Structure 1
């Protein structure tokens, strides 16, 4: 009789012990293809800054009076947790901080990205996104002789 009671007690203990195991964590949702393309390079490095006529979709060089050379060594890093880090490189523009951080998020159709940092949200349109190239329309314009032209920034993947 003692053997049956002891066996019963051990069985209850074993069942209770295994019932207290932690539940498996929920697997992470798979990343969309566009998210994978953004987060896979170690960072994106500025390749070119040009102006675009939104009506004709023609591209133009930036007039010399708008000195944007300080942007040429900037990099942008996307993390899959929705954070980003922008680095101004060694050639700082005006009194810019060396790095800025914040969050990023696609719109529902993954055609635009909203960056949010201490200055608030800023939305950009994605013109092209591949594993090697990332091109955005900044939403900001520069006045020229032919009208206001949109600033377009091209980035290249940096490993």
Structure 2
């Protein structure tokens, strides 16, 4: 073949490679921690202490509210509302919250209502689950690691 016959074939090959070589990515960016928190109302599921459900431990169960009755709402303006039931009565709570330490911790006064530290670590945050960890000073038991589990509503 002559060079003049190869030139159009080479040009055609180059044009096709331009259209097949590059493809736009349709990836959407991962939502931020704040976007995930404010996207849902979070219903309490369980509190785990020392690897067991705290509601089954007499000392722990008397120290914390029935987590299954709690609904926690993080608002975009860094306020929160929460409700839970205590002896059949609905208890409302509200306050402010903020993310700290590269969005790995939440600082809010809700936990102080129950004698817990105001800062908790975000162990898990997905579109359906939120797990917060902290250590509580529990009578008789001393410092006790806790995991508070929530499910998106």
TM-score bucket (shorter structure): 0.5 to 0.7
**Greater helix proportion:** 2
TM-score of the aligned structures, taking structure 1 as reference length: 0.61
Q: Among residues 123, 134, 137, which one is paired with 1:138 in the alignment? A: 134
Alignment: residue pair count: 115
Structure 2: how far apart are the matches of 1:47 and 1:154? Answer: 5
The answer on 1:66 being equivalent to 2:69 is: no
Aligned equivalents of 1:124, 1:65: Cα separation in 2 = 22
The corresponding residue for 1:40 is: 39
Deviating 4+ runs (over 6 angstroms): none
User: Are 1:99 and 2:86 matched, yes or no?
Assistant: no
Deviations 1:77-131 (A, max 9, x none): 000111100111xx316xx9711111110003111100036x6981111111111
Q: CA RMSD in A?
A: 2.9
Q: Which residue of 2 aligns with 1:113?
A: 106
Any gaps of 5 or more consecutive residues in structure 2?
1-30
Which string of whole-angstrom CA distances, capped at 9 and with x for unpartnered residues, describes residues 39-66 of structure 1?
011x1000111114xxxxxx22332333
| Cross-structure match for 2:146 | 151
Aligned partner of residue 98 in structure 1, secondary structure = strand
Task: Tell me which residue corresponds to 2:79.
Answer: 83
For structure 1, the 5+ residue unaligned runs are 1-31, 53-58
Taking structure 2 as the reference length, the TM-score comes to 0.63
